[in-house]
Structure 1
Amino acid sequence: MTLGSQIAWDDTVLPFQLDRSDIRGRVARLDGVLESVLKQHDYPPMIEGLVAEMALLTALIGQSVKTHWKLSLQVRGSGPARLIATDYYGPTKDGAPARIRAYASYDDNKLDHSADPFSQIGQGYFAILIDQGEHMAPYQGVTPIAGGSLSSCAETYFAQSEQLPTRFALTYGRNQQPGEPVQWRAGGIMLQHMPKASPLMQQQDGPSGDDGLLNAADILDEDEGENWIRANALLDTVEQIELIGPTVQPTELLVRLFHEEAPRVYDAQPIKFGCTCSEARVRQSLSIYSAKDIGTMTKDDGTVTADCQFCGAHYVFQPETLGFEATDGSES
């Protein structure tokens, strides 16, 4: 793809490479996807912001997974923002959109609405999980919560678990274009050093990141470090309006930021909101329970109900149709 190509950039991830720096990256723009994710729930503003940041990270990281693969990000903490979970489903075929879904679990009574949203997570961990499909063992990597944002957690994860120097520049929030309703928009850039970086620490005095964790400087030699510092300095000049769009195209942004690094772009990946829940999946998840267990789940009106935490879908079943002792497999 040439840098002058014209495509619709909203809900899209554009991968690129900086040939003179051995650095790869992605530019993401989310609007309709993010709006669809957040409208499924009535989150307070600080939780909406955390979910928006996590969804944007998921789009940027997930673009690298293969067709049919699933990538999940999870943050679990000891604070009132207990859990933020996102899923990225790779496209089912070449040219098809990827799908994203997300949700958060929190204690509204304990949230400090005047505090920095990230502080409401507390101590915990950041995890990336990759499901490669049937007959393949899933991959899971976990690092402690570190830094002052979810993007800092992701940067620490890649340095600590993958030995890949990584940098994110993100922006997100409610936005209104002339003649259009207010809606969520998000945009971001991810930079990542190519994998030839040595997994051995270059500094002899131990990791230099927070809480004794690795960061980019610990895993780059002198030449690689110079390239990385230069690319990050260029990224520091980006403006929020350039990230979030929609007036500046990602291709134009790459030229402005990195023209001396010889940016090369690849095919863009479209993204949409998508949930995989279904009545059949709920039935399958309940198939391990006995009739007695199902009885404890039955409501006063004689039904068993289930709600999808991601999309809010509501399912109603007759108890006799559930579990491994079901006497009637018909739909309720």
Structure 2
Amino acid sequence: MTESPSRPVSAEARDDRVTPFAVEALDLRGRLVRLGPTVDAILTHYDYPPQVARLLGEAVALAALLGSILESHGRFQLQTRSDGPVDMLVVDYDAPGKLRGFARFDAARLAEVTDPAPAALLGRGHLALTIEREEDAARYQGVVPLEGESLAEAAHMYFRQSEQIPSFVRLAVGELVTPQGRSWRAGGLLLQYLPVAGARIRELPPGDAPEDAGAETEEDDAWLEGQALAGTIEDHELVDPSLSGERLLFRLFHERGVKVFNERPLVEFCRCSTERIERLLKSFSPEERADMVGDDGRIGVTCEFCATFRSFDPADVA
């Protein structure tokens, strides 16, 4: 087996990409996501307050990191339901790289919040991660509690409880200000310890082991090093439009050698359509449709995700 030839690190900074990578010397696998116009489109469909937009941006970055495990088909959904001012976040990822999302919040309660931290905005509830694979019609869902954690911390809990894979997640959202205007950016890093050599598989790190594992556990040196290297990443590096993803990965892991794989493009895309909504309206009873008719004599429907408004003649959907 021959090693893949090395090449210079690309300095080209490209937005809206997921970059899979591996640090084989430490048995690490991961994905880096950098979002520009895609996340900006999602966050500007509605006039979200800045703290809500940042939280939704983190959810979009996390969904891109987790959903990109689906190669070419299938759907991934991230959804929160909680008792905080932001009581719902929904982000859909349609493979191979279509994203959409929205946030629901209580403006009055939000105005009373003095702490902009994600935990204060979300409150207590749960985070549900759902995968639907088209090839075998399988559906998998993992649910973890939200108890004052950020989305990244909740993702850590998911990997500990559901996947039992030692994982590191970092999310960042920023607003870029230029003479042309303001725009949102987001980024994220997912690093996982997936040893393939028997000598490395001693015991999973504390908190990542099954509940019935022994109380005395010891973290593997490779995973300790991987966490230490990944922990040096700064928020501004994840959203810097002038810093290429390859340069960032090289800065983090060059001492051990990092291998990058084909990038996957990401786009903002909503699967709503006039035909879908017509079918939905026809599924309601005549009495229910009558209650939907507005003062103009028509039924108006606004998509929660992309804010597109459509108007229907009640007779056309009878």
Kindly indicate whether the alpha-carbon contact (under 8 Å) linking 2:15 and 2:34 is maintained by their aligned counterparts in 1: yes
Residue 100 of structure 2 is matched in structure 1 by 101
Q: Distance in 1 between matches of 2:201 and 2:162?
A: 10
Q: In structure 2, do the counterparts of structure 1 residues 12 and 46 end up closer, same or farther at CA, with 3 Å as the change threshold?
A: same
* Partner AA of 1:9 in structure 2: R
Residue 3 of structure 2 is matched in structure 1 by none
What SS class does the counterpart of residue 60 from structure 1 fall into? helix
Residue 282 of structure 1 is matched in structure 2 by 277
Per-residue deviation, 1:240: 2.8
Q: In structure 2, do the counterparts of structure 1 residues 230 and 36 end up closer, same or farther at CA, with 3 Å as the change threshold?
A: same
What SS class does the counterpart of residue 42 from structure 1 fall into? coil
User: Is 1:19–2:28 an aligned residue pair?
Assistant: no
Per-residue deviation, 1:287: 2.8
Residue 72 of structure 2 is matched in structure 1 by 67
Q: In structure 2, do the counterparts of structure 1 residues 321 and 195 end up closer, same or farther at CA, with 3 Å as the change threshold?
A: farther
Residue 159 of structure 1 is matched in structure 2 by 160
Kindly indicate whether the alpha-carbon contact (under 8 Å) linking 2:195 and 2:201 is maintained by their aligned counterparts in 1: no
Q: In structure 2, do the counterparts of structure 1 residues 88 and 260 end up closer, same or farther at CA, with 3 Å as the change threshold?
A: same
Residue 94 of structure 2 is matched in structure 1 by 89
Kindly indicate whether the alpha-carbon contact (under 8 Å) linking 1:74 and 1:86 is maintained by their aligned counterparts in 2: yes
Kindly indicate whether the alpha-carbon contact (under 8 Å) linking 2:82 and 2:125 is maintained by their aligned counterparts in 1: yes
Q: In structure 2, do the counterparts of structure 1 residues 233 and 44 end up closer, same or farther at CA, with 3 Å as the change threshold?
A: same
Q: TM-score, normalised by structure 2?
A: 0.87
2:314 to 297, 319, 323: 319
Q: Distance in 1 between matches of 2:77 and 2:109?
A: 27
Runs of 4+ in 1 over 4 A off after TM superposition: 195-203, 217-222
Q: In structure 2, do the counterparts of structure 1 residues 257 and 187 end up closer, same or farther at CA, with 3 Å as the change threshold?
A: same
What SS class does the counterpart of residue 47 from structure 2 fall into? coil
Q: Distance in 1 between matches of 2:38 and 2:215?
A: 35
Q: In structure 2, do the counterparts of structure 1 residues 102 and 243 end up closer, same or farther at CA, with 3 Å as the change threshold?
A: same
Per-residue deviation, 1:194: 2.0
Q: Distance in 2 between matches of 1:30 and 1:232?
A: 23
Per-residue deviation, 1:241: 3.0
Q: In structure 2, do the counterparts of structure 1 residues 106 and 200 end up closer, same or farther at CA, with 3 Å as the change threshold?
A: farther
Q: In structure 2, do the counterparts of structure 1 residues 292 and 240 end up closer, same or farther at CA, with 3 Å as the change threshold?
A: closer
Residue 187 of structure 1 is matched in structure 2 by 187
Could you list the per-position Cα deviations for residues 20-43 of structure 1 after superposition, in whole angstroms to 9, with x for gaps in the alignment? 111111111111111101110011
Kindly indicate whether the alpha-carbon contact (under 8 Å) linking 1:235 and 1:257 is maintained by their aligned counterparts in 2: yes
Q: Distance in 1 between matches of 2:153 and 2:312?
A: 43
Q: In structure 2, do the counterparts of structure 1 residues 129 and 195 end up closer, same or farther at CA, with 3 Å as the change threshold?
A: farther
Q: In structure 2, do the counterparts of structure 1 residues 310 and 200 end up closer, same or farther at CA, with 3 Å as the change threshold?
A: farther
* Partner AA of 2:98 in structure 1: R
The residue correspondences of 1:246-261 to structure 2 (distance < 5 A) are 246-261=241-256
Q: Distance in 1 between matches of 2:153 and 2:80?
A: 12
Q: In structure 2, do the counterparts of structure 1 residues 135 and 280 end up closer, same or farther at CA, with 3 Å as the change threshold?
A: farther
Could you list the per-position Cα deviations for residues 173-201 of structure 1 after superposition, in whole angstroms to 9, with x for gaps in the alignment? 11235x44221112221101227699998
Q: Distance in 2 between matches of 1:218 and 1:55?
A: 37
Q: Distance in 2 between matches of 1:159 and 1:309?
A: 32
Q: Distance in 1 between matches of 2:88 and 2:214?
A: 30
What SS class does the counterpart of residue 224 from structure 2 fall into? helix
Deviates more, 1:224-233 or 1:307-316: 224-233
> What is the number of residues matched between the two proteins?
308
Instruction: Identify unmatched segments of 5+ residues in structure 1.
Output: 92-97, 327-332
Q: In structure 2, do the counterparts of structure 1 residues 114 and 72 end up closer, same or farther at CA, with 3 Å as the change threshold?
A: same
* Partner AA of 1:129 in structure 2: T
Could you list the per-position Cα deviations for residues 136-175 of structure 1 after superposition, in whole angstroms to 9, with x for gaps in the alignment? 1322111111463111111111111111222112221112
Q: In structure 2, do the counterparts of structure 1 residues 181 and 66 end up closer, same or farther at CA, with 3 Å as the change threshold?
A: same
Kindly indicate whether the alpha-carbon contact (under 8 Å) linking 1:50 and 1:118 is maintained by their aligned counterparts in 2: no
* Partner AA of 2:77 in structure 1: S
Kindly indicate whether the alpha-carbon contact (under 8 Å) linking 2:125 and 2:145 is maintained by their aligned counterparts in 1: yes
Q: In structure 2, do the counterparts of structure 1 residues 214 and 146 end up closer, same or farther at CA, with 3 Å as the change threshold?
A: farther
Could you list the per-position Cα deviations for residues 81-108 of structure 1 after superposition, in whole angstroms to 9, with x for gaps in the alignment? 11011011112xxxxxx11111011111
Kindly indicate whether the alpha-carbon contact (under 8 Å) linking 2:80 and 2:89 is maintained by their aligned counterparts in 1: yes
Instruction: Identify unmatched segments of 5+ residues in structure 2.
Output: 1-5
The residue correspondences of 1:103-252 to structure 2 (distance < 5 A) are 103-111=102-110, 112-115=112-115, 116-133=117-134, 136-146=137-147, 148-177=149-178, 179-194=179-194, 208=207, 222=218, 225-252=220-247
